[in-house]
Structure 1
Amino acid sequence: DIYIPNHLPLHTYCFENLSQFKDRPCLINGSNGATYTYAEVELMSRKVASGLDKLGIKQGEVIMLLLQNCPEFMFAFLGASHIGAIVTTANPFYTPAEVAKQAKAANTKLIITQGLYVEKVKDFAKENDVKVMCIDESPVEGYLHFAELTQADENEIPAVKINPDDVVALPYSSGTT
């Protein structure tokens, strides 16, 4: 069994031994082979945390990750943890109605996705004043770009008190598993 303490926020738990493992591979992008060390993932998560704060995402608010497996998923998830935000994850193959239902139920403030899936969220986002951000290499016209998060100053993360009972992940399931 792995002991998981309940007094540490997720990001603190994940990186509490960073000094021992900082140069070891942490994430490998399966689509292009890019490797990120623990130190790089930790730094990127702090940058994203700062960027989320600058976008107006506050402690207790929900962001949706409508992404395939990719490094940005982890950067955003851990970045949200840093500021006490909550992540709900949605399958990119959901229908627009399924994505909207989950986003509405979760009271989502920001959807991070790829240009390929913007059509699934654009109407919901417009009707509910939800920001949409794309991770694509080239910016998708009319939408925020993930670089706005990754280029933020990692030293400008707001101080938040995270309690053991605070939610970090808001998973939804179709009930088939």
Structure 2
Amino acid sequence: MNSRVALLLSSFFLSASIGPLDASDTSAAADSMARKLQHIEQNAAAAKPDTTPTELTEPEVNAYLADGRVKLPTGVQSVRFEAQPDLISSTARVDFDQIKAGQHSSNPLLSVFSGVHNVDVRARARAMGHKGYVEVQSVALDGVEIPHFVLQLFLDKYLKPKYPAIGMNSEFALPDKIDAAKVGQHKLTVTQK
């Protein structure tokens, strides 16, 4: 399974807290997501991909992540997504000490990024013309919104050395001949061509 596609789609799509699924529902939803990702990958191998949209639902994305089928960055745990038209939200449990891996800063503004916190992210997301665009609108730690300039300091100091393309506003090429991805109410619709 192409983990690039899974991570891209997972980061692009956020699913709602529509209540916990039981184990069999979770497994079935994760398996459904795996089949859809496999279809996207196989469709990309065709000289002329089928342009019929592939729809990924919130329960599928969350179950796929909860089932451990995507390797999350060190320190990031229990990710959940929620989708509304053109808007994605995610909640994760993050151990900032693991992310920083022994790096320290004398900047007191960065001291908030230590220990384990619940992190909520809201972002606008769209994709067209084989490119994806994500614009982070807000980030909160344990319910307290962090100013954008402080987030940028954290990104520059701790994340950009490992993930140079990460930012508050990101543009990236879509893999597997994905031409467009539309975030809708509790779903992501992907079109290849």
Q: Which of the pair is proportionally richer in helix?
A: 1
Q: Which of the pair is proportionally richer in strand?
A: 2
Q: TM-score, normalised by structure 2?
A: 0.25
Q: TM-score, normalised by structure 1?
A: 0.26
